[in-house]
Chains A and B, each alone.
Chain A
């Protein structure tokens, strides 16, 4: 399972964010070479063959996404970097922004060459003060030393980067909400089609990539597509950053081959269960991924592997829960998040998330009713597939997963007015 640390070798370093340190490590060599010597189609082809998949959550093949950008159009092409890391349980992009900002910039430059883009925005979530500071510092250094600007590294290739600070809205991690936000508007996701590759920021073709995705790009061009692919699994090249939190001994970030099983991630990398407690459930890919039981953890930690257990890798944020956890209470934390973060634009998500939250609150207060469990499941099902953006699904899936796999706990709470686990009612 040992994988080279493409991204994380310098996580925690005091100096890795500085340009000089990055240059010492061969930084920007790939960007210079690609911009000067490689044709855009070749770059895209290489990224396709490397089977790089979007690390923001959806796992869309990055090379294919780039290939959707029209060639030779008269409108400018934009790159929007999604650094709005907000999926609960996920904290990987924060590390890249903080410790490897130049690696991200280099990936952006290569992307810029591939899609013919000369202006990029990095949309960083508003709370990330230190990462923003680091990113802004890196951009300033890069401008000063000619790695960004009107003539990148003497190649004649212009590339501008703006660091944009979010305002506190989970939904802006959704790519079209992010674009709306970049235009100064509330983050209401757009109707698709048209897709951002054709009509994106300010009506222009736009690539939207996650931080981790772009930071991997220089490694693809450096290693070559085949070598990069070999680091991963058949359906997904390269290494993957996994975030593990919750009831484990060593919560943290781990860069591994996606061939790693979830059980190995928890037991071998995150140090196993805290205080020797017994594992009860794992949310494998950020809060919206359907929950898994202990018997479902031998699956591969890849996009395809998680699909096989009817969940998803998502943002690769694992939240580990031991047997002390009341799943009704946990459900409340989850649903109040989505009810709070729904943008409010379309009906099922706006009304359904708040409705489910109120039902769970009533159950927690000891006033559950026999039909509540079935109603939660049915409301969630009625949200799925009916909304403008995936937030509706993201809110519905965990509810459906919790009710399906821990139905007895919900029914117990409704019937007895107290938790099956703690024996108490929680109050809302």
Chain B
């Protein structure tokens, strides 16, 4: 599986992830202020698309097809433009992911420093394979491209934090310290 393609649609969601699905059918008032600020900051409504997608993902954990529609309507841009952007970039989750999205770098520097073994070890620790989510919905495991932290190889990103020089003990400590 190509790294980074972890959150596309298609497969059925586990119950734990399905529970994280949110129905958003109209523009959420809580994002109104941010949206207005973005529209003022950017030259065109379309240019505000990426930050607005980020705002939705921060709020809901992913960007659903319904949210795409809501965003297109809000920005008054064609829906297909939103779809193109959401699918081109790998970081917009198109479905819910685990509470802790574990993304292990699989590029060259990390591979030289044992990333392949690290990935296998994390699979064991979490009891899931790459691309899967734990049954409790806590962890999703992905292999991603270079995260620009080669000096700490092998490394991973869990949600918004980088962790380097991974070995089993450190991984256990990291996962143990998460909610």
Contacts and interface: CB of A to CB of B under 8 A. Distances in A.
Contacts of A317: 150
A278 to B, nearest CB: 14
Interface string B146-172: 111111110001001110000000000
B85 to A, nearest CB: 6
Contacts of A336: 2-3
A91 interface: yes
Nearest to A247: B112
B174 to A, nearest CB: 16
Interface string B1-41: 01110000000000000000000000000000000000001
A277 to B, nearest CB: 11
B160 to A, nearest CB: 4
Contacts of B43: 201-202
A86 to B, nearest CB: 7
Most buried by B among A130, A283, A319: A319
Contacts of A170: 145
Nearest to B106: A333
B148 to A, nearest CB: 4
Contact of B108 (A184, A185, A330): A330
B153 A251 contact: yes
Contacts of B162: 130
B173 to A, nearest CB: 20
Most buried by B among A129, A333, A336: A333
Interface in A272-296: 283, 287
A181 interface: yes
Contact of B51 (A90, A94, A165, A343): A165
Given A166-B89, A168-B91, A183-B46, A91 B2 contact: no
A214 interface: no
Contact of A243 (B85, B106, B112, B150): B150
A325 B89 contact: no
Interface in B112-165: 112-113, 144-153, 157, 160-162
Contacts of A129: 160-161
Contacts of B50: 164-167, 181, 184
Given A184-B50, A245-B153, A317-B150, A169 B112 contact: no
A246 B113 contact: yes
Contacts of B146: 86-89, 287, 337
Given A243-B150, A330-B111, 16 more contacts: A89-B146, A90-B150, A93-B148, A127-B144, A127-B157, A162-B42, A168-B4, A168-B90, A169-B90, A245-B113, A246-B109, A246-B150, A330-B112, A336-B2, A340-B2, A343-B88
5 contacts: A167-B54, A183-B44, A184-B81, A245-B109, A246-B153
Interface of B: 2-4, 41-44, 46-51, 53-54, 81, 84-85, 88-92, 106-109, 111-113, 144-153, 157, 160-162
Closest 9 CB pairs of A and B: A167-B89, A245-B150, A168-B91, A129-B160, A186-B88, A184-B49, A88-B146, A168-B90, A245-B109
